[in-house]
Amino acid sequence: MAERALPLTSVQEKRLQSLGNLVASLKKGVTYAILVSGALLAVSPLIWMISTSLMSLGEAQGVRLVPSTIHFENYTAAWQEADLAGYFINSVKITLITLVGQLLASVLAAYGFAKIKFPRRDLIFGVMLSTIMIPAMVLIIPNFLTVTWLGRIGPIRWINNWPALTIPFMGSIFSIFLLRQFFAQIPDELFDVAQIDGAGHLRFLRQVVIPLSKAPLMVIVVLSFMGSWNALAWPMLVTNSPKWRPIAVGLMNFVDEAGQRTNHMMAGAVITIIPILILYFITQKQFTESIARSALKG
């Protein structure tokens, strides 16, 4: 009896176990199914944009998912029709100037807030940090008046020129906040040692702090690059000729002009986001991690 019963229960046990495995793998399967379909949904607009940019005009105006023949000439057509070359160079220039300015101002200010002691330091930082709450769009019109006025009283023009497009974005409290958190973790003893060697704050910042802070600096570079490259409302307001207009505005104008030529429009759109996508996929791992970390500390 006992000998018989034992094999039976072990079979039952096995069955139960395999049932448990089945449920577990089903759960896993559902998880993957949701994840994969979510990923498809997330990239589908981008994929579809690329696909349409390669179609003939007739196909692009109908509902088709894949082009029957690849039309790379849409890209050259869009490039020429929309004069994207000019806008592209403008965007590169605007982005670089903003980036360098913002980086310099932020690194210096973050170091000041993190490592130099001065009266009411935390109060000043708190007040500056609270400016994050001011809705950016609310300030856009008064800012427009300010840059017009600065151009009138100053030595250089601001409207339709690089200062209006770049200088207002050089003071980013968000960047400063990110860097300050990081700088604050660098032990003060390091500075004491550097000081004995005769180094001042600037040299300590250049030779010790910056080499240690590559990760947060990269996040700021990427974020500032994206913000500057994608900006629309402000550049539209402060430029009125293609001379300094960035590519986002160029694309908007092209959309108005291109009308029904959807394939060209989409080719133009792809060209616009290529630099962002390249930058993102190169840096995405560190980038997404640091974004998340910085957010949590805030």
Partner 1 sequence: MAEVSKPRRTLFGSERARDEALTAYLFLSPYLLVTLVFTIGVLLFAVYVSFTEFNLFTWPPTWVGLENYKEALTDRRFIRSLVNAVWYVIIVVPAQTTLALFLAVLINSKVRGSNFYRSIYYAPSVTSSVVISLIFWWLYLKTGYLNFGITEALGAVGREWAAIEWLNDPRGLFQLLLGPFGVEISFDLWYLRGPSITWMAIMFQNIFTTAPTFMIMFLAALQDVPPTLYEASAIDGANRRHRFFRITIPMLPPVILFIVVLGTIGTWQVFDQIKILTSGGPLNTTLTPVYLIYVEALGTSGPPRMGFAGAMAFFLAVIIFVFTLIQRRYIESGTEAY
Binders of partner 1 in range 72-91 (CB under 8 A): none
Q: HSE (CB half, 13 Å, CA atoms) of 35? A: 6
Residue 56 Cβ vs partner 1, minimum distance, rounded to whole Å: 16
7-46 mask for partner 1 (x: CB under 8 A)? ---------------------x--xx-xx--xx--xx-xx
Residue 32 Cβ vs partner 1, minimum distance, rounded to whole Å: 7
In degrees and rounded to multiples of 5, residue 135 shows phi and psi of -60, 125
In degrees and rounded to multiples of 5, residue 155 shows phi and psi of -75, -25
Which residue of 201, 208, 210, 218 would you call a contact of partner 1, by CB under 8 A?
201
In the bound state with partner 1, the residue whose beta carbon lies nearer, of 4 and 186, is: 186
Which residue of 92, 173, 208, 210 would you call a contact of partner 1, by CB under 8 A?
173
Cβ contact 169:238 at 8 Å? no
Touching partner 1, residues 202-221 (CB under 8 A): none
Residue 99 Cβ vs partner 1, minimum distance, rounded to whole Å: 14
Touching partner 1, residues 41-70 (CB under 8 A): 42-43, 45-46, 48-49, 52, 63
Residue 31 Cβ vs partner 1, minimum distance, rounded to whole Å: 6
Which residue of 97, 159, 170, 238 would you call a contact of partner 1, by CB under 8 A?
170
Structural tokens at position 212:
């240690």
What is d(CA 220, CA 291) in angstroms, rounded to the nearest whole number? 10
- Among 283, 271, 269, which Cα is nearest to 49's? 269
Exposure of 277 by Cβ count < 10 A (0-12 exposed, 13-18 middle, 19+ buried)? exposed
- Among 275, 277, 272, 270, which Cα is nearest to 55's? 270
In the bound state with partner 1, the residue whose beta carbon lies nearer, of 5 and 164, is: 164
Instruction: Give, in order, the Cα–Cα distances in Å from 144 to each of 71, 140, 149, 235.
Output: 42, 6, 9, 10
- Please provide the size of the chain in residues: 298
Residue 66 Cβ vs partner 1, minimum distance, rounded to whole Å: 13
Q: CB-based contacts of 95: which residues, under 8 Å, 6+ apart?
A: 225, 228, 229
Touching partner 1, residues 231-290 (CB under 8 A): 232-233, 237, 248, 251-252, 255, 262, 265-266, 269, 272-273, 276-277, 280-281, 284-285, 288-289
Touching partner 1, residues 105-164 (CB under 8 A): 105-106, 108-109, 111-113, 116-119, 121, 128, 131, 133-143, 145-146
